[in-house]
Every structure is written in structure tokens, then in C-alpha cells.
Structure 1
Amino acid sequence: MKEMKTLMIVNVLCVAAMMAFLAVVGPIIRALKMEEWHAGLTVALAGVIWVVMARYWGKKSDRIGRKPVLLLGVLGVGFSYLLLAVFIDYALVNVPTLLLSLVMLVCVRGLIGLFYAAIPAVSSALIADKVDAKNRTGYMAKLGASNGIGMILGPALGGFLAVYGLHVPLYTFAILPIIAAFLVYKTIPKTPKHHVEEIPHPKWSDVRLRLPMIAAFLTMYSVITSQVCLGFFILDTLALEANETAKVTGIILSLLGICFIVAQVLVSKIKGCSPHTWLRLGGSIAALGYVLISLSHTVIPLGLGFCIATFGMGFIFPAFQALAANNVSELEQGAAAGTVSSAQGMGMIVGPMVSTLLYKIDPIVPFVFAAIAFALLVLFASRKVQVESEPSLV
């Protein structure tokens, strides 16, 4: 698939842009005399809009073609980020009222989320268009690895550039999606338009997408749970000092990014395994990792548990994307990819709320819950009516 390199570059640059904001949002909130919950609101809004818009963009790409929707999404991210950079640049010198700062951050961040929602959905649909069912998992894994690189590169580069001014990372990461849009325009061929208005798109309740959606939701929920609860768990269970906690948290989160990338590269290299196989294997490994986390009282087993769990989830990500593509017809690929992407967005929203509530019961409860959930996912995948040897519908 000759478009794969472009898709990987586009996803690296756009995910890096989305994640770079997290490196500077705290200092920006302080500089604008805002409160912590304002930062939470601006970040959470991206997840809400992802849920609402991913399915829309997927269906839109089914009708008018993948290239125009992907190009619009990437350009939209770039110019929305540029608007954010211009506002922050101005606001840091002339601090506006609290209401104006909040409205601008929420609206512009929401605009970025609106356009970004098109990128993962259309990227997955384009792979489903070009790659046969047997090889889709490997290509989805390559796409997932590029997302993992962006997740590491964004905060790291954003934090480095912030020493030159809080507005510098924002201007930088506004340029990167615009470069990505140029690559899309030059290298992604036009795809034919389909008149599919009369064909019903898969619904949220579509039985064909039930397993991929459950896997997508659970995996993203667990990723967010790990990110949100890790620091608290180290403070409360390992009883480290605040500075040491920050150091250990940063190291473990960096290792998780590496494990996520390595797992998906491994999936892309191993041929012949079906999405169901990767789903069951990944779920089993993730469950084992969360059990180890729940039993940890020192740094090394805790870090090892998180690495094992993340490694397993790295297997699951390309599996549910490929499984969704294999279970629907050619004309439904965009809608299916958008629906599963929406389930991921829902995990981003539910994860912080549920995991922190469970944490109040006991620090190990969020991780025990995740272990049980992955075990049930493996059981559900194993008992699925559709056997792995059944021919694809595509």
C-alpha cells in the first residue's frame, strides 16, 4: 500500500500536535490566572467531540471519498492550532478576562478536536479500502505505532520548545499539520464517490461491530486509567515524596509509550495471525499486567506490570480496527471506522471519571476492575459466533 507512509507521517504529526498541548496547558492556565478544572474541561472536550464527530466523518468519507475528508481534517487541525497559538501569544502579554480566556480555550480546543476526529477514522477506512482482510491487522498496527510515536514526540518536543516561550510549541505544532496536509494532497489518490444514501450505515448497536467497539472502549478506558491513577498510586501505595513521584511517573509513562510502539511493530511483522487471535492474546496479557499492578508495593514490579499491560493493549488496538473492517461491506468502511473510533472517544471521557471514583474505594480497585474487564473481553472474543476461519464479508 503506497499511501501507508503518508498516513503514518500524517498521524505522527497530528497526534504529536494534539499531545503537545498537554505539555504546556498547566503553565498556560497559571499564566492566564485560570483554575485547574478549566484545563480539565478543555482537554475532556476533545474526547466528547471525538465521540460526536468521528462517525460523521467516517460516513462522509464513504460518500465523497477519503481524500477530501482527510485533507479537510488535517488542514482544520493545523489552522485551528494556529488560531490557538495566536490567542495564547496575545493573552500571555495582555491577560484577558477569565471568561474570555475560558471561552476561547474551550472553543478553539473543541475546534481542533472536531477536525482531528476525521483523521483516525478516515485513515483506518483508507487502509480497509486498500488492504485485503488477511493483512489489515499488520497495517493497522503500523498506523497504531505511528500514533504511539506522536504520543511520545508531542509532549517531549512541546516541553523542550516551551523554554523559548509557551507560545512557541503551539506555533510549531500548527505548522506540522499543514505540512501533513500538503503530503495528503500530493500523495493520496482520489477515491471514487459512492451514492450510498439508500444503504443503511452500521448503527451503534450493530452486532457486527459489538466486539470491536467493546475492545476499543475498554482499551482506551484502561490507557486513560493508567495515566490518571499512576501518580496517585505511587504517592499513596509506594509512599514516595512528591518530587520522586513525578520522576518515577515520567519514567513509567515513557516506558509505556515504548512498549505500545514495540507491540504494534511486532503485530505488523508477524503474518498469519487473525484479529481474533491478537485480541485474545492482547487481552490475556493486559489482564495479567493489571493483576501485577494490583499486587505491587515497590517501583520495579509496578513498572513491569504497567509495561506488560500496555504491551497487551498494543496487540488489541490494531486487532479491533481490523476486525471492524473485516466485518462490514466495502461501502460501510468509513462509517464502521468512525463508529469504532467513537467508542475510543467514549473511553477517553468515561476513563477519568470512573477510574477516579473507583480509586476512592481503594487504590487497587481501578486496576483490579481493568484486569477483570480484559479477562471478560477474552472470554467474549473466544465465544464469538463468528469463527476465525469464516471468510470475510469484504
Structure 2
Amino acid sequence: MGAAHLSGAEQVYSGSTPSLPPRGLTVTSTLPPETGASNNRRSAIHLLIGSLVCVGLGQSLLFTVLPPLARTLGLVEWQVGAVFAFSGLMWFVMSPFWGRKSDRWGRKPVVLLGITGYGLSMALLIAVIEANLAGWISLALAFPLMVLVRGIFGLVGSGAFPAAQAYIADRTSRAERTSNIALINAAFGIGVVLGPGLGALLIGAGLLAPLYAVAAIAFFSALMITLFLPENPVTRQQRQERAASRKLSFLDRRILPLAIASVVMSICQSATMQTAAFFTMDLLDLTPESAALKSGIALTISAAASLLVQVVVIRQFGLGPKVLLIWGAAIALSGYVVFLLSESYVPVVLALVLHGVGLGMLRPGLGSAASLTVGPGEQGAAAGLIMATGPVGHVLTPFIIMPLYQIYIFSPYIVTGVLMAGLLVYILVNPTIQAVLGRTHV
């Protein structure tokens, strides 16, 4: 493919290479490191990553607070899962849409819309819960309202992450792509790590006070993006080139195998995250309050391990998709085996750490593989399609995993172990994935 003259940082590399990539596999160059633009680029990426931290904050607090709170409200396990499932369904439907829109409109408007939508969803969810606790509305009304307002996150908030990943892809070379895309996942992980600490600081003001703080942080982040996140206007030539993103779908041979792998990862993640607090409570026979504390600590350690991999290990050792996908699946699989052997708290923590490290490698591995296999005009669409698979697990878990959990508390980890073992084999034998991994050194 010939060089395309794009504005700003986004260019198609046209120099000589040992072997030319196939059609659609286009290289995006970074800004020259010797210019001040490089510092501006780094500042922009840091601002973008910082704005995504609030999503991790909210998720970690919801996963640790909502299960015990649900039993106080009178909700059963499948209803808790349904709150996440509807949002996940909306995310699945809308993430590719917003990814394509970011190719057409530009990255900044879609990121801004997503962060604002997340803040609105969180604020409304808290308001519904508070109204029920105060006796203003019945549980019969509160439950569907919780499902609907949480759905705003999937409907609108789903635009933030694919647009953010495409923003980074626009401004990085192939060599830098994986480590910088890992920062997208690291942003979520930072939020997960900070979430319990924020909760501990604010819980004295009320059970839901930390969630109000998350909503406020989301709105503040939206303001910072509006004021300080730079973006080059989308030129007519770029808009014409990016029109190809409208044709990219799950059935595209470059995307389908990666999307299948991402679906399996999503199911394993959701099954583990949605059952961790219940599993800790039931295995150790804890009170809801004690379970919230212990599961919160375990999930925080797991997130910290995942964060260490994404921020330090991947960048320090220059790990590429090949290592991340193969070893990520193997390490996650070992975590599910440890779950099945758990009889006390420490093995549960170890299992969650292995789960966190494994998925912390798989996510950026899949994201960077998808980014490297498409051209600059399809970055948003590719990111949207891969990220659309993320909530599939949240949609399926309430109807498959949670009923199995009620029958036998170890059954979720039998299912995830089998799925992850299958994913590892799939990565090793699928010709499309192997072709993508074969173009990377690590």
C-alpha cells in the first residue's frame, strides 16, 4: 500500500521493510521523538488514560459493594447479574457503532461522550438505590430501574474505550503499539486498585458515598478532556480513507478469530468477577460485611498484579501479542485450577492474582493484534469490534454461570478452566491468529 499523507501524527509508513504486510495491515508512525510534539503526545495520552481511571473505580466498587448490598435490598444473585447483563448487551451493540463514529468524527468527541455517559449512569444508579433504601420506591420498581440506568453506561459509555484505543493507535508506531494499548487496560486496573481505598475513605459518609464520588470524578474528567485533550481535525482525505471502517465487521477474516478469543476471555473474566464475592462469602461462611472486605482486598491484589504486568512488565520487556496471548491464557488457566483446590482464603487470593495476571496479558495482546492487522482508517472500527465482545460475559453469566453457582459453588471455575484451556489451544492452532503473531518478534 502506498504512503498516505495524513495530518498530524497519523501517517502510513512507506519505507522498506523485510516483508511487506498484507493488504489492510498498515503501519502508523509515531511523532518524531526529537520534537516538542512528542511531549505533547505523551501528555495527551496521559490525560486520556487518567480520564479512563474513573471507570475502573466505579467497577471495582460496584463488584465489591453490590453483592452484599443486594442481599440487604432483597435481590438474589441472578438479579445482580442482570444489572450488569443489560449494560453489557448495550455495550456489545453500541461499541462497534461508536468505534466507527470515531473514525468519522474524530476520537475526542466520542471519548467525551462516553465518559459523560458513564458519569450519568453511575449517578442515576445511586439515586435509584438510595430511593429504595429510603422507602420511596419498592424493590419491584427499583430493580428494573437499576437495570435501565446501568444500561446508559453500555449505550453511551461504550464509546470511550474504542475511541481511546484508536486515539493511541493514531499516534504510535507498530513497535510502540502493544505497550501503549496496554495503558488503556492499565487505566481500568488503576481504578480497580484505587477503588477500595476510596471506598474506605468515604464509606463513613454513607454506603453509597464512594459511588457518588466516582460520578463526580467522571464529570470532572469530561471537563478536562473538553479543555485539554488535543486532536487534529479530520481531513477530507482521512474521512474518505476511514469510510472503509463502515465495512469492517465481526465476519472479517482478520477480526473473527480475535473476536472469538475475546468472547472466551470475557466469559472467564465475568464469571470470576461476579462470583468472587459470593464464593468468598460461602466458602468461608462469612457475613456480608466481612465478605465485602475480604473479597475487596483479594480483588484489589488481583488488579494490582494485572496493573504491574501492563504498566511495567510489558513496557520493560517489550512484550508483543505472541507472548501475551500464549502465556496470558496459560497463567489464567492455572488460576482456575487453584480456585478448584481452594479451601481457605489464601488460595482464593492466589487464584485471583493468577486470573488477574493472565487476563492482564490477554487484553492488550488481543487489542494490539487487532490494531496491527488493520489500516489507520479502520482503527476505531477494529477497536470497537474487539471491545464489543468484552460485555458478552456479563450478558451470559447471570443466565448460565450464576445458576450453576447456586447448584455448586465450584462450577464457575470448572467452566472457566475448560474455556481457557480451549482458548490456549485455539491460539496455538488457529492459522489467522498464528499469521498475525508471526509478524511480531515477541
* Aligned equivalent of 1:67, options 108, 114, 118: 108
Offset of residue 269 of structure 1 = 2.2
Greater alpha carbon shift after TM alignment, 364-373 vs 326-335: 364-373
Alignment match, 1:242: 286
User: Contact between 1:285 and 1:312, CA under 8 Å: does it hold in 2?
Assistant: yes
How far apart in 2 are the matches of 1:112 and 1:85? 13
Alignment match, 1:142: 183
Alignment match, 2:156: 115
Offset of residue 338 of structure 1 = 0.8
Alignment match, 1:324: 370
Letter in 2 for 1:53: M
Alignment match, 2:358: 312
Alignment match, 1:285: 331
Letter in 2 for 1:268: I
Alignment match, 1:269: 315
User: Contact between 2:54 and 2:218, CA under 8 Å: does it hold in 1?
Assistant: yes
Q: State the identity %.
A: 30
- Residues 1:62 and 1:232: Cα distance change in structure 2 (over 3 Å): same
How far apart in 2 are the matches of 1:155 and 1:44? 23
Offset of residue 183 of structure 1 = 1.9
Alignment match, 2:10: none
Alignment match, 1:206: 252
- Residues 1:321 and 1:158: Cα distance change in structure 2 (over 3 Å): same
More helix by share: 1
- Residues 1:367 and 1:23: Cα distance change in structure 2 (over 3 Å): closer
User: Contact between 2:121 and 2:149, CA under 8 Å: does it hold in 1?
Assistant: yes
Offset of residue 217 of structure 1 = 1.9
Alignment match, 2:423: 377
How far apart in 2 are the matches of 1:231 and 1:116? 25
- Residues 1:359 and 1:29: Cα distance change in structure 2 (over 3 Å): closer
After superposition, give the CA deviation of every residue in 1:178-207 in whole Å (9 maximum; x if it has no partner): 211122123322244314446643211222
Offset of residue 164 of structure 1 = 1.5
Offset of residue 287 of structure 1 = 1.7
How far apart in 2 are the matches of 1:73 and 1:388? 31
Q: Secondary structure at the match of 1:58?
A: helix
Q: How do residues 184-195 of structure 1 correspond to structure 2 at under 5 angstroms?
A: 184-193=225-234, 194-195=239-240
- Residues 1:216 and 1:142: Cα distance change in structure 2 (over 3 Å): same
How far apart in 2 are the matches of 1:299 and 1:323? 36
- Residues 1:147 and 1:90: Cα distance change in structure 2 (over 3 Å): same
Offset of residue 6 of structure 1 = 1.0
Alignment match, 2:12: none
Unaligned runs of 5+ in 1: none
Q: How do residues 71-86 of structure 1 correspond to structure 2 at under 5 angstroms?
A: 71-85=112-126
- Residues 1:104 and 1:333: Cα distance change in structure 2 (over 3 Å): same
Greater alpha carbon shift after TM alignment, 192-201 vs 136-145: 192-201
How far apart in 1 are the matches of 2:180 and 2:292? 35
- Residues 1:361 and 1:41: Cα distance change in structure 2 (over 3 Å): closer
Alignment match, 1:171: 212
- TM-score (normalised: structure 2): 0.77
- Residues 1:230 and 1:106: Cα distance change in structure 2 (over 3 Å): closer
Offset of residue 327 of structure 1 = 1.0
Offset of residue 209 of structure 1 = 1.5
Offset of residue 45 of structure 1 = 1.9
How far apart in 2 are the matches of 1:100 and 1:15? 28
User: Does residue 304 of structure 2 align to residue 258 of structure 1?
Assistant: yes
User: Contact between 1:128 and 1:136, CA under 8 Å: does it hold in 2?
Assistant: yes
How far apart in 2 are the matches of 1:21 and 1:273? 32
RMSD, aligned CA: 3.1
- TM-score (normalised: structure 1): 0.86
User: Contact between 2:67 and 2:278, CA under 8 Å: does it hold in 1?
Assistant: no
User: Contact between 1:23 and 1:158, CA under 8 Å: does it hold in 2?
Assistant: no
* Aligned equivalent of 1:46, options 69, 79, 87: 87
Greater alpha carbon shift after TM alignment, 170-179 vs 342-351: 170-179
How far apart in 1 are the matches of 2:55 and 2:185? 13
Alignment match, 2:222: 181
